[in-house]
Amino acid sequence: MSIEDSIRVTERTMREMHLLPFQLAVKHANPWSFMTGYHRTNGVHGSEDPWLMEKILRGDWGWGGLVMSDWFGTYSTAEAINAGLDLEMPGPSRWRAKLLHWAVMCRKVKERTIDDRVRNLLNLVNKVRPALAHVPDGQEGDTPEKRQICRRVASESIVLLKNTKSILPLDPSARRTYGLIGPGMSLPAVSGRGSADLVPHYVSTPLDAITEVVGEESVRSAIGSHNHLFTPLLSKNISVPGTEQPGYLLGWFNENPEVISHQEAIHTTTTTQAQMYFADSLPANVPGCYWLRFGLCVLGKGKLHIDDDMVVDLFSSQPPKTLQTPMFNQASMEVTAEVNVELGKQYQLGVLLRNDSVVAGVGALSAGGLRVECCEKLDAATALAGAVDLAKQVDVPIIVAGLNSDYESEAIDRKSLSLPPAIDELILKVAQANPNTVVITQSGCPITMPWVDQVPTLLHAWFGGQETGHGIADVLFGKVNPSGRLSITFPRRLEDTPTFLTFGKGQRDIMYGEGVFIGYRYYEKLLRRPLFYFGYGLSYTTFTYSNLQVPDSFRLKNDKDSLDVSVEVKEDLRTHERTLGGLRPNHSATHMLKHLATAIFS
């Protein structure tokens, strides 16, 4: 949401639904800090709202940490400080410093209020300093222990949605052939975009991970279709000019290096990142207006050369915006060029960037940016036909496809719940070609599945981080018993969602007209079955639960009261032993019990 947006919502809805997760975090984890949002709630910006910060957070919940603003999410001096905002982010301050001096001088802000804000800041500093001092040497980067944690998180979060023919788990020792299909096989979705976009140490792909399990002789692959909005970043098979070091060479210049070719760069560095968003971290000696050359969608003006040929010109002119673009919608529309390349040949890429026409607003933290992108050109019909043919020739086709960070990003609303049309067609055609098809979808939010009745085996893998591939392979081949449960409801269609009649219908006022009836509450109230309920998830084992014991009547007087609920859960150990060997037998039973408790209290 932007700074102009205002949410209209009742206090009951706020306390019962939207504030409750934060209240639980305060109760069970006592976080050191909170951050306010950009938008207004009932007409008041979060960074200026004493009801949120003082009445609810510090008063009702008894919390005593630091409250900071989102980046450039402070809009006043006296109002924000008096409302409870301790820290304006990022620095250097725009609304405090000299402005705060005058606010104190005219007594719009009292000195004891300043003392409170400074005390909260110093308390946080005193908590963070010893914690950082005790980080063991070598534990701040990539370690085997951290890889195992990432792999476990990736595998245990995967949700088994359908397994009607008991195709899963697959037997890695069986003499089978596998057709690995879909864009997610080689380019899995590992995170969202915006502040969710982190650069992993590596990415385990499903193609590589499955090949590790069954061997290259059992695996064939076909992409079937692209599913990106923006051409994938060129982050592999690149090297700094004149070296074997992976990455790009960057140099900042005062003047256009195409005109003054022998000038010294103000600053140089290397990077392996193919998207470079120069927000608030430029080298100290780089001026506000600069030229960049190393060696495309751009934030500023730019052009791309391959060897000596200019193939993309976003310097002379840029196409009008018709879609959301990267870098918080500040970048230009993507312009692509088709280039014939030869296998094994090296090419020199060069981008000239000038940070002109940078947008103000939240983009005030921008000093230019660019994306270097590349992928194989596909003929859609030929790629689809190749995937279908492959599915007919193998024992088990496995599709990995869905959404990615192009679709799910900070500062962007999706326009529908649909997958790209080509992906829906790919899944349907492959499933029709081979009844043993296994479909693995990736998204961070609900998607519609018009092909769901045609697919016997379905997993949802979310955005799995750097161990996405191994996590998927561990579940497919029974190393991990799927124990994930849906954290959100998947509706059958957009029109079935509780916000359909209100969200996006106003200009700046966003009415939370659904009240407390969000998610599964809405579907249960209307007796309307969604595609998959909140909390849904299957297992490779079978369970029965019986003898549910719940008090006939109870009333919790405060958040420290409790009540006893019991249920008997029995697992079919024969099924467990047949499919998974020595895995923890109660692992999925525990998750089932948690799901049952959720159902009781909803």
pLDDT: which is higher, 193 or 93: 93
> Whose CA is closest to 95, among 40, 31, 45, 41?
45
600 band by pLDDT with thresholds 50, 70 and 90: very low
Structure tokens at 124: 């946080």
pLDDT confidence of residue 2:
66
Contacts 24+ apart (CB under 8 A), 277-285: 277/326, 277/327, 277/366, 277/369, 278/355, 278/366, 278/367, 278/368, 278/369, 279/365, 279/366, 279/367, 279/369, 280/90, 280/365, 280/367, 282/367, 283/252
Instruction: Say if CB 225 and CB 423 are below 8 A apart.
Output: yes
Contacts 24+ apart (CB under 8 A), 99-106: 103/77, 103/78
β-pair type (457-460, 301-306): unpaired
Structure tokens at 423: 């992906």
> Whose CA is closest to 596, among 563, 568, 560?
568
Helices assigned H by DSSP within 37-140 = 50, 78-83, 98-105, 111-133
How large is the C-alpha radius of gyration of the chain?
27
Instruction: Say if CB 342 and CB 332 are below 8 A apart.
Output: no
Rounded to the nearest integer, the mean pLDDT of the chain is: 85
pLDDT digits (tens, 9 = 90+) for 18-71: 999 999 999 999 999 999 999 999 999 999 999 999 999 999 999 999 999 999
pLDDT: which is higher, 107 or 560: 107
Amino acid in position 154: A
| Peptide bond before residue 530 is cis, with ω within 30 degrees of 0 | no
Structure tokens at 46: 């979060």
Cβ-count burial of 517 within 10 angstroms (0-12 exposed, 13-18 middle, 19+ buried)? middle
Q: Enumerate the active-site residues.
A: 70
Report whether pLDDT(587) > 80.
no
Report whether pLDDT(424) > 90.
yes
Q: How many helices (H) and strands (E) does the chain have?
A: 15, 23
Least confident of 200-209, 359-368, 378-387: 359-368
CA dihedral 96, 97, 99, 100 (to 10 degrees): 70
Mean pLDDT of 383-401: 96
β-pair type (369-371, 159-163): unpaired
pTM over 0.95: no
pLDDT confidence of residue 298:
62
Helices assigned H by DSSP within 359-479 = 380-393, 421-433, 468-476
Q: Print burial letters for 36-51: b (CB count within 10 Å at least 16), e (below 16).
A: bbbbbbeebbbbbbbb
> What is the percent of the chain where pLDDT is above 70?
87
pLDDT confidence of residue 82:
97
User: What 8-state DSSP symbol labels residue 532?
Assistant: B
Nearest-angstrom CA–CA distance, 12 and 227: 41
Q: Which of 288-297, 330-339, 428-437, 500-509 has the largest mean confidence?
A: 428-437
pLDDT confidence of residue 409:
84
pLDDT digits (tens, 9 = 90+) for 220-252: 999 999 888 878 888 888 888 878 888 888 888
- DSSP-based three-state secondary structure for 536: coil
> Whose CA is closest to 588, among 485, 484, 483?
483
Q: Which of 45-49, 275-279, 349-353 has the largest mean confidence?
A: 45-49
CA dihedral 56, 57, 59, 65 (to 10 degrees): -170
Cα–Cα distances (Å) from 173 to 105, 169, 477, 540, in that order, read 78, 12, 10, 18
pLDDT digits (tens, 9 = 90+) for 133-187: 776 665 567 889 999 999 999 999 999 999 999 999 999 999 999 999 999 999 9
453 band by pLDDT with thresholds 50, 70 and 90: very high
Cα atoms found within 13 Å of the Cα of residue 408, Cβ hemisphere only: 22
